[in-house]
Amino acid sequence: MTSLPVPERLRPLLDPASPVQRVAGRLVAAGHQAYLVGGTVRDALLDRRPGPEEKIDVDLTTDARPDEIVRAIDGLAEHVWLQGQQFGTVGARVDGVDFEITTFRAEVYRSDSRKPEVSYSDDIETDLSRRDFTVNAMALRLPEPELVDPYEGATDLATRRLRTPLAPEISFGDDPLRMMRAARFIAGFGLEPDAALIAAVVDMRSRLEIVSAERTRDELSKLLVVEDPSLGLWFLCETGLADEFLPELNAMRLEQDPIHTHKDVLAHTIAVVRNTRSELRVRLAALLHDIGKPKTRSIGPDGVSFHHHEVVGARMADERMRALRFSSDMVEDVTKLIYLHLRIHTYAMGWTDKAVRRYARDAGSLLDQLNHLVRCDCTTRNKAKARGLQRRMDELEARIETLREQEELDAIRPPLNGNQVMQSLAVKPGPVVGEALDFLLELRLDEGPMKEDEAYRRLREWARQRGIEPAPN
Helix and strand totals (H; E) in the chain = 23, 14
Q: Give the residue, 343 or 469, on which the prediction is more confident.
A: 343
Mean pLDDT of 392-410: 75
Report pLDDT for 104.
93
Fold held by 2-158: Beta Polymerase; domain 2 (3.30.460)
Fold held by 247-410: Hypothetical protein af1432 (1.10.3210)
Q: Given a cut of 60, is residue 259 above it in pLDDT? A: no
Residues 6 or more apart whose CB falls under 8 angstroms from that of 29 comprise 72
Report pLDDT for 6.
62
Q: How confident is the model at residue 116 (pLDDT cuts 50, 70, 90)?
A: low
pLDDT tens for 330-348 read 999 999 999 999 888 776 5
- What is the residue extent of each domain of the chain? 2-158, 160-245, 247-410, 414-465
Mean pLDDT of 80-93: 90
Mean pLDDT of 451-469: 83
Rounded Cα gap, residues 113 and 250, in angstroms: 28
Fold match flag (160-245 vs 247-410):
no
Q: Give the residue, 399 or 346, on which the prediction is more confident.
A: 399
Gyration radius from the chain CA atoms: 29
Q: Give the residue, 378 or 50, on which the prediction is more confident.
A: 378
Q: Given a cut of 60, is residue 217 above it in pLDDT? A: yes
Q: Which helix (H) or strand (E) holds 126?
A: helix 124-129
Rounded Cα gap, residues 269 and 250, in angstroms: 11
Q: What are phi and psi of 147, to 5 degrees?
A: -80, 130
Do 81 and 90 meet the contact criterion of CB atoms below 8 Å apart?
yes
Q: Is 24 exposed, middle or buried (0-12, 13-18, 19+ CB in 10 A)?
A: buried
Q: Give the residue, 166 or 2, on which the prediction is more confident.
A: 166
Alpha carbon of 141 to those of 24, 136, 419: distances in Å? 9, 15, 70
Q: Given a cut of 90, is residue 401 above it in pLDDT? A: no
Q: Give the residue, 439 or 180, on which the prediction is more confident.
A: 180
Q: Given a cut of 80, is residue 2 above it in pLDDT? A: no
Mean pLDDT of 58-84: 93
Q: How confident is the model at residue 426 (pLDDT cuts 50, 70, 90)?
A: confident
User: HSE of 213 in the Cβ direction (CA atoms, 13 Å)?
Assistant: 9
Rounded Cα gap, residues 370 and 377, in angstroms: 10
Report pLDDT for 315.
96
Do 43 and 9 meet the contact criterion of CB atoms below 8 Å apart?
yes
Report pLDDT for 68.
95
Report pLDDT for 175.
92
Q: Give the residue, 221 or 365, on which the prediction is more confident.
A: 221
Q: Given a cut of 60, is residue 352 above it in pLDDT? A: yes
Report pLDDT for 258.
43
Mind giving me the DSSP string for 182-246? HHHHHHHH-PEEPHHHHHHHHHHGGGGGGS-HHHHHHHHHHHHTSS--HHHHHHHHHTTGGGGT-
Q: What are phi and psi of 129, to 5 degrees?
A: -65, -25
Do 319 and 349 meet the contact criterion of CB atoms below 8 Å apart?
no
Q: Given a cut of 60, is residue 117 above it in pLDDT? A: yes
Q: How confident is the model at residue 398 (pLDDT cuts 50, 70, 90)?
A: confident
Rounded Cα gap, residues 107 and 98, in angstroms: 23
Q: Give the residue, 120 or 274, on which the prediction is more confident.
A: 274
Rounded Cα gap, residues 267 and 278, in angstroms: 19
Give me the residues paired with residue 59 across strands: 37, 100
Q: Given a cut of 90, is residue 100 above it in pLDDT? A: yes
Mean pLDDT of 401-424: 75
Report pLDDT for 261.
47
Rounded Cα gap, residues 369 and 467, in angstroms: 44
Q: Given a cut of 70, is residue 284 above it in pLDDT? A: yes
Least confident of 13-27, 158-172, 216-230, 401-415: 401-415
Report pLDDT for 260.
40
Q: What are phi and psi of 355, to 5 degrees?
A: -65, -40
Class of domain 160-245: mainly alpha
Rounded Cα gap, residues 320 and 72, in angstroms: 46
Rounded Cα gap, residues 406 and 408, in angstroms: 7
Q: Given a cut of 70, is residue 121 above it in pLDDT? A: yes
Least confident of 11-15, 210-214, 255-259, 383-387: 255-259
Rounded Cα gap, residues 205 and 241, in angstroms: 5
Average pLDDT for the chain? 86
Rounded Cα gap, residues 50 and 380, in angstroms: 36
Do 123 and 146 meet the contact criterion of CB atoms below 8 Å apart?
no
